[in-house]
Amino acid sequence: MRIMSREELKAKLERGDNFRLYMTLDRQAYEHSHIPGSMHLENAAEVAASVSPDEEIVVYCVNPACPSSANAYRLLNKLGCKNLYRYAGGLEAWQEAGYELVGDMET
Whether 24 maps to a domain, the answer reads yes
pTM of the model: 0.91
Cα distance between residue 34 and residue 84, in whole Å: 19
Whether 102 maps to a domain, the answer reads no
- Given a cut of 70, whether residue 106 has pLDDT beyond it is no
Domain carrying residue 66: 6-96
Query: Sheet holding 39-40: strands in order across?
Result: 39-40, 20-23, 57-60, 84-87
| DSSP string of 11-72, one letter each residue | HHHHHT-S-EEEE-S-HHHHHH-B-TT-EE---HHHHHHHS-TTS-EEEE-SSTT-SHHHHH
Cα distance between residue 95 and residue 77, in whole Å: 28
Whether 1 maps to a domain, the answer reads no
pLDDT in tens, 54-76: 899 999 999 999 999 999 999 99
Query: Which CATH number fits the domain that encloses residue 14?
Result: 3.40.250.10
Whether 79 maps to a domain, the answer reads yes
pLDDT tier for residue 105 given thresholds of 50, 70 and 90: confident
Whether 15 maps to a domain, the answer reads yes
> HSE-up of 13 (CA within 13 Å, CB side)?
19
Whether 104 maps to a domain, the answer reads no
Whether 76 maps to a domain, the answer reads yes
pLDDT in tens, 85-98: 999 999 999 999 99
Whether 30 maps to a domain, the answer reads yes
* Total domain count, the chain: 1
pLDDT in tens, 71-81: 999 999 999 99
